[in-house]
Structure 1
Amino acid sequence: MYRFRKQRETKDTKPFPGKLIVVEGVDGSGKSTQVYLLKRWLELNNVQVSFTEWNSSALVKRATKRGKKRQLLTPTTFSLIHCTDFAHRYEHEMVPLLKQGYIVLADRYMFTAFARDAVRGCDRAWLRNLYGFARLPDITIYFDVAQEVAASRVLTGRARIKYYEAGMDLGLAPDTRESFRIFQGRIAQEYERMAVEYGFTRIDASQSIELQQEQVRREVASQITVSDYKRPPDMAQPVDQYQALVM
């Protein structure tokens, strides 16, 4: 144990030229919409920006899908397979781009695992050690919304909630929708704990999409000099006049 801790203490902690911005929140909080709008805003300002999302590594996607479909995942294997996905994206996508001076946007980061896996019974300290290889983000924006509102958004827009998404493996309730509400409520409690622990920037996700995006951009601009991350002239992108972004 000492050896592992020593490795964590001595790992390279020099700041990257790029910046890592993370969005977090329960299902239905609207974070994916907001990070998309932030990405388009940065692109329209000719910034070098890249996007990554939770559970999207091609390396383990097939195994993850098979395990979930057959309901084979225990809390520990669920945690480890998602950590493998994260580690692959972190080492092969995020870190190289951060070293090149990109702004990397992540739709969910290790905090998603901290919340979901803790609710499934994994030890919080074990989870933090498991993800000890990853750096803390430069900015973490937490979209805070009442659990009832978030659950209603998801349940209204979806015909079916998946087994693990609803927390059915925990035996919270026989009904999928009720289990989902309970599961997401417990995840929200973990996020509240982490918001204090890690100093998340909190956005009221019950506000209009436009108002939330204004606050997101303001927060980013207050902590990052966006103009420092512009693309070189020969890499400039054509301007996309996306009407939904005109505010």
Structure 2
Amino acid sequence: MIKEQIPGGLLIAIEGIDGAGKTTLAQSLARVLEAAGARVVLGKEPTNGPWGTRLRQTAATGRLSPEQEVEFLLHDRRQHVEEVIQPALARGDVVILDRYFPSMVAYQGAAGLPLDEMLHANDFAPRPNLLLLLDLAPEQGLERIRARGDKPNHFETAQNLERCRVIFNQLELPGKVVIDASQGEAEVLRDVHAATVAALARRIAEDGGMNAENTRKLERLSAN
């Protein structure tokens, strides 16, 4: 199958509190878009790089201060942007991220750091064409975490997740679409696919307008 290129690529970030279903959705959306002919790069933050690995290792103990967490996250994100995200977008790929800089703003913001300063610290990070916010009540997120056999870490308390949820919903960023994550997986994917098709249409229209070739490309990539 010939893979479709999108001039400038398409950057999709999936956000939300723990237990909202981000990883499951990222994988499902990647499969749908690949089947439709897109070239997809699936990423996750924190990454498996040296900074991301060190940060995840501390999640169960809470030994880092919010300022140290931000330092690690920014180092990790810069490497991710330079080595993965920007090259993929330059190739015309669809990049799907399971967490991105809004998570840092929400989680470290819930710990008391200024939101505007953290947004400014992430100016180097390309803004998503589509920011999918999976909105879910903290109690339901914690139920899902326990149901999959995981033990909640120090980030995953009802009080902290509620603070994060409030910040996620308050963030005003281009391309933001709020999805009801209390739905079943099929319903969430349906809503996300519709939002992705709309984002694709906007992105492709930027490439010389919706001529016959771009219309055909959108029809292929919108197949479900």
TM-score range for the pair, normalised by the shorter chain length? 0.7 to 0.9
* Secondary structure class of the residue paired with 1:60: helix
Match of 2:30 in 1: 39
Q: Deviations over 1:80-127 (max 9, x none)?
A: 101111111011100011011111001111000000011111111210
Match of 1:192 in 2: 169
Greater shift, 218-227 or 78-87, is seen at: 218-227
How far off is 1:229 after superposition? 11
Contact 1:79 1:113 in 2 (8 A): yes
Within-5 A mapping of 1:87-166:
87-163=78-154, 165-166=155-156
Contact 1:140 1:201 in 2 (8 A): yes
Contact 1:116 1:187 in 2 (8 A): yes
Contact 1:38 1:217 in 2 (8 A): yes
**2:178 maps to amino acid:** R
**1:210 maps to amino acid:** A
* Secondary structure class of the residue paired with 2:132: strand
* Secondary structure class of the residue paired with 1:223: helix
**2:93 maps to amino acid:** Y
Match of 2:54 among 52, 58, 63: 63
Distance 1:31 1:103 in 2: 17
Distance 1:204 1:45 in 2: 25
How far off is 1:17 after superposition? 1.4
**1:72 maps to amino acid:** R
Within-5 A mapping of 1:209-224:
209-224=185-200
Contact 2:138 2:161 in 1 (8 A): yes
Contact 1:57 1:88 in 2 (8 A): no
**TM-score, length basis structure 1:** 0.74
Q: Deviations over 1:63-86 (max 9, x none)?
A: 325555664311100111011111
Greater shift, 198-207 or 23-32, is seen at: 198-207
Contact 2:15 2:134 in 1 (8 A): yes
Runs of 5+ in structure 2 lacking a partner? Answer: 1-5, 205-216
CA RMSD of aligned residues (A): 2.5
Computing the radius of gyration from Cα coordinates, the structure with the larger value is: 1
Contact 2:11 2:94 in 1 (8 A): yes
Distance 1:55 1:159 in 2: 18
Describe the shift of the 1:149–1:105 C-alpha distance in structure 2 as closer, same or farther (beyond 3 A). same
Greater shift, 53-62 or 24-33, is seen at: 53-62
Distance 2:125 2:113 in 1: 19
Q: Deviations over 1:113-144 (max 9, x none)?
A: 00001111111121012111112110111111
Contact 1:47 1:229 in 2 (8 A): no
Q: Deviations over 1:158-182 (max 9, x none)?
A: 352223x33xxxxxxxxxxxxx111
Are 1:20 and 2:11 an aligned pair? yes
* Secondary structure class of the residue paired with 2:50: coil
Distance 2:196 2:56 in 1: 35
Describe the shift of the 1:145–1:16 C-alpha distance in structure 2 as closer, same or farther (beyond 3 A). same
**TM-score, length basis structure 2:** 0.81
Describe the shift of the 1:71–1:185 C-alpha distance in structure 2 as closer, same or farther (beyond 3 A). closer
- State percent identity of aligned pairs: 21
Q: Number of aligned pairs? A: 203
